[in-house]
Structures are given as structure tokens and as C-alpha cells.
Structure 1
Amino acid sequence: MKKLIILLSLVLFYPVHATNTKTLDTIYANSTMTMTLFFPSDIKQGITGSEHFVFTYNREKEQNLGLLKAVKGNPSNLLVVTTDGKVYSFILKYAEHLENPNRFISIQESIGDAKRVLTKEVKIYDNPNTSISANTIPNHIRRSCESLLELPERKNKHIKKNGIKLSLKNMYYREDHVFMQFEIENKSAIRFDFDFLKISKVSGNKGHNASYQEIPLETIYVHNKPSEILPNTKVRMVYVIPRFIISKTERIIVRLQELKTTRILYLSWR
């Protein structure tokens, strides 16, 4: 149960000195326009409560500019902490049309002050073909991966080909990351030598080159990456990638490639 709480507590909470009780304002967003939010001070941390909404800001150089996008789904919330310790909270809702895609936020909209100093941002590793070791990756990401491997499966998207079965068993959002748990089962009589697994966001149809677009999603960390899967065995691993949203016209494609052979599997879902 303790490990379950680690995964399900997917939002950083900061104790706040509330100045007064305020009714939270609502900010609307969608996938076709970018809602631009200007804060009185530079953004230190920004978190949304649902995968339907994605809030991005400059993590390399602190700025007061934040960008919000969304896909259709239930309302959620946005929590932002600025470098001067001010805390801002808003209700988030999806809207088909935005009357004004820009919002200037005043310091009077702050709900209070953070009690403690915020921790440093998690470093993102850019090479998708490099498996980061457990000694290098931040401990909270590694522990979340370990916990995810012990949880019951919530998804069962899979594909079978040439005696190999690739399945997506779980997918969780935590802060700015997505944790995807995959299972590879070898039902063939031949050993499967793992080469790579790549995750991409795709729109359009590959048969129509003008409309087809494939965007690789960088891999931050691979937990329990196998080198081989023996016959009649299976292995589970967790891929950590940056948080993303999917529009109605997009889908996720996962490519599993065996080393030095033609055994390739494509797993797709929306």
C-alpha cells in the first residue's frame, strides 16, 4: 500500500500561508490554440491535475511566461509557484473556442505564499537511445518505476507477431513525466534479442505523405530494460517520457525492434 501511494500521489504539494479564502478563477484551453499566461514574477513550478491539460514554461531560464493546451476532458486545476514564493491556483476547463488566448495575471490573484523553498528541477536526459542507470536518475523517478511494476495492470493494449507479444499494461502521469509500463512476451522457440523500443506521436496517414507527421517522444529513463527475452518467458519494463497530450487526430505508435533481425512490432492507440 505504501508503494501504491508513491505512484498515486502524482502532484507536488507545497504548504501555503493562505492570505484569505478566494473563489478560484477559471482558465479555458484547447488543442488548436495556445493559451498564454503572463505571471507577475518568473515561474518556478507549474503543475496540472490531469493529463488532459499540459502547462509548459522555460526550465532553462526563468521567465514569467507559461503556455497552456488541452484536449477535451473533465475539468482540472493548475497550481503555479513563482520565484518570489507566490502561489497561484486556477480551475481549468476545455473550450472549443477561446475568446482571448492571452491572460495577464495580477499579483492580487495569488492565493498565498509557499512555506518552503522549492527543490531544483529534475534534469531531462535527451538521448532516446541511452538507458540512464539507476544511479544517475533521480531517486523519486526510479522508485515510481519500481512501484509501477508491482501494481495490477490497468490497460491491456497489445499486438502479436511472429511469436512476440508487446503489451501496454499501465500508464501514469506524474508532474511533467509519463510512466509507461510495457510487457514483452516471447512465445516463439527463438530467443528475442532486444534492440530498442521507440515511442512516437503520429498524425495523418502514412499513405498520404502530405498529411503524415511522426514526432518521436524522447526517452528520459528506461527501468528494467532487457537485453534478451528467452523462449516462453516475458519481461516488464517502464519507459519515462515527457508529458504530452493527444488531439483527436493524433495517436501514439510504439515500435519494438529486435537486434539484427526483421522482427518488428508496432503497437498503436489513441
Structure 2
Amino acid sequence: MKSVKVLCYCVSLLFICFKSYSQEVFTKEVKVCLSKTTLLVFPANIKNADRGSASIEIGEINKVSNVLRIKASEENFIPTNVSVFTDDGHIYSVNVSYTSDIFKNIYDFNISESNQYADGGAALTQQRVRQIAGMIQYISATTRKPKFSNGDITIRLKGIYLAGGNLFFRFGIHNGSAIPFDVDFCKFFIADRTRSKRTSHMEKELLSTYSSLNLTNTVPPGEDREIVTVFDKFTIADGKTFHVEFFEKSGDRHLKLSIKGKHLLRCKHIDNLSN
């Protein structure tokens, strides 16, 4: 009789554990195409990922261990799925189907569809800021100006994005020379657009909260690099300009951009891309 009670207890415990474990499976519908990459963002590092068929390509992003990229490898494939296991014990089942073009390429499991950053004002953790900065390169550039060249080195503004009360500035640098371009340091400040000889020139320096420059500080000959720098949200008056300066290490090929207030006001909200 005692053994029967023990057996019943074990079966009940197993059922409870199975039920609890099964609740850790999350699902999402995802569209992919041939020409663009779709990103899945998870709240924990990816432990393993498995695709249902060879009709899609999957892979992790270098130095971003919680983001999985998906892309179609053929047109009009039969809908399939991707199973993702994260190191916090959760399982994600992603149903993947084909479309000729996608208008949304980032799906975030951190945020439910009913809990979006509606106005870009919700606070972001430093880890989340780094994640968004790493994903911005997969978002279509919103502008190609202003730009500046010095000695076959060209820098251009590729976009300004708003998320969680943070402004993400995306810069593209092209090295058209035969010598590597090494960035020593950057300077960011707000100054009057025009100044009189009779008045002193006041500058207000801004400190970034994050920059991918530490990961990408060298642009090899003939190559392009993107740098994302993040600031707390700010605006500037019509008579002022936001200045960006990149200084070359052991060289004089310094780069600079002048960004007007209208560029800031045209920033793209990217919170709605994260679900």
C-alpha cells in the first residue's frame, strides 16, 4: 500500500513538472523573404536553435548572443518552423512562412504586443541599448546626408532612431584609401550655427551613453564600417547645430558632421519594430 502511495506521488509530481515546463514554450508567427534578414530577439542567450527545413537559413549574430537571424533560401517554400532554446530554460517555437517582401524584420520576445514603447519614453536597460544598437544595421537607412569627406575617407549620417527615451545615431564610414583608418576618439557637442566675431563661441559637449566604436574602431582600406552612438533624448534650437567629430589616431584625416535640429525631429521610432 505504501509503494502505491509513493508511485502516485511520483506520478503527480511528474505531471506538475511537465505542466510547468510546458508553460515555458512561447510561439510567434514570422515572415521572411530572400532579400532581407529577419531578426528574433530573446530575453536570454541562445543555447541552441533548430530549423524545420533547409528552405530557411538561421544563424547567430557575432557578439550578440541573444539574437537569431533568419532568411529564406528559396521562394514560396512550404511553411516551416524554428525551435529556439535559451539558457534560462525557455523554449520558443517560431512558425516561419514566405513572403515576397517584409515590412517588419525585427521580432522581440522581450516585449509583448500589448506592451510596446508607444512614445519611445520607456526606460531601456544598458543591455537592451546594446542589443538595439547591434540590430540597427539591419534596418533600412533613413538618410544619406549630411556627409563629409577628407582624404578618401567619407562619413555620412545613415539614420537617427528613437527607442525608450534614447537617440541612436547611425554613422557610416567608407575608406577609399590604401591606408587603414583608425578612430582615436570622438567629440560630440552643440554650438551656435553662426557666430559673430564680437561674441564668444559657446559649446555644450554631450556624452554618449553607449557607442559601438569600441567594437569597430578600424576601417580597413576599401571597406565600410558602421558606428552607432547612443545619447539620452535631446533636441536643439533652430539657431544651433549638433556637431560630430571623429579624430584619426596618428593622422590628420579627421571627420566631422553638422546635424541640424530638423534631422533630430525626423528620427524614426523603432520600438514598433521590436515585437
> TM-score scaled by structure 2?
0.49
Kindly indicate which of the two structures has a greater share of residues assigned to helix.
2
